[in-house]
Amino acid sequence: MAGLATAGALSPPAEAQPQEIRREAQDEAGTRAVIETLSARLLAAPSATAVLEAWCAERGLSADPRIVAVRVPSIDKAPSPLQRERLAVGPDETVRYRRVRLTCGSHVLSEADNWYVPGRLTPEMNAALDGSQAPFGRVVRPLNPSRRNLSLRMLWRPGEGIVPGPDAPLFSVEAVLSAGGVPFCEVAETYTGAVLARGER
């Protein structure tokens, strides 16, 4: 009798397990679909800022869907020789570095590293990059830049049954921006689980 009672006590979890697995699989499938949609838009567009602003509006993440670039201070990364080669600058030409968190309302959608050649931007653009929270893409929009993608790397790994939190890195994109065929910036963008959120309608 005791054995039958024990078996009966264990049967509900055994029955519940497939439902839990299906729920997690659906969550992972949804996460994968969102990542594929957003990454495809980013790879096809000349401006990540424009894509994120449209994404923010589409998903209702903020009443004001404008992207704000919150500067991360006290960080400096010199460009590598390969980055200088891609930017077509010599070893002594100035390349500035800017690290920002791209936010929509309270959501940090990505963190971005920018290496840019100030001599190829206007004085007004350089002043905006130094002294404002304007995203790089918005500042340089008058240049009508083109974007050459260097890499797309997936950072989130499905299969663990865990939906990424808002701070979890999902994927990264590296690209070079050019104007009139002349490169002026290299970007490395890491997109976070905050892009999965939906606001209240």
pLDDT, tens only, 24-46: 445 888 889 999 999 999 999 99
Which band of pLDDT confidence, cut at 50, 70 and 90, is reported for residue 9? very low
Separation between Cα atoms, residue 194 and residue 201, nearest integer Å: 17
Closest residue by Cα to residue 188 from 116, 128, 117, 111: 111
Sorted by where each starts, the structural domains of the chain and their CATH numbers stand as 2-196 (3.40.1410.10)
The pLDDT value recorded for residue 200 is: 55
Mean pLDDT of the chain: 87
Q: Does residue 10 register a pLDDT over 50?
A: no
Give the SS3 label for residue 92.
coil
Taking the CA atoms of residue 81, residue 85, residue 88 and residue 92 in that order, the dihedral angle to the nearest 10 degrees is 20
Report the pLDDT averaged over residues 119-140. 96
Q: Give the separation between CA 34 and CA 69, rounded to whole angstroms.
A: 23
**What is the rounded CA–CA span in Å between residue 63 and residue 15?**
44
> What's 159's DSSP letter?
S
DSSP 8-state code for residue 166: T
**Percentage above 70 pLDDT, the chain:** 85
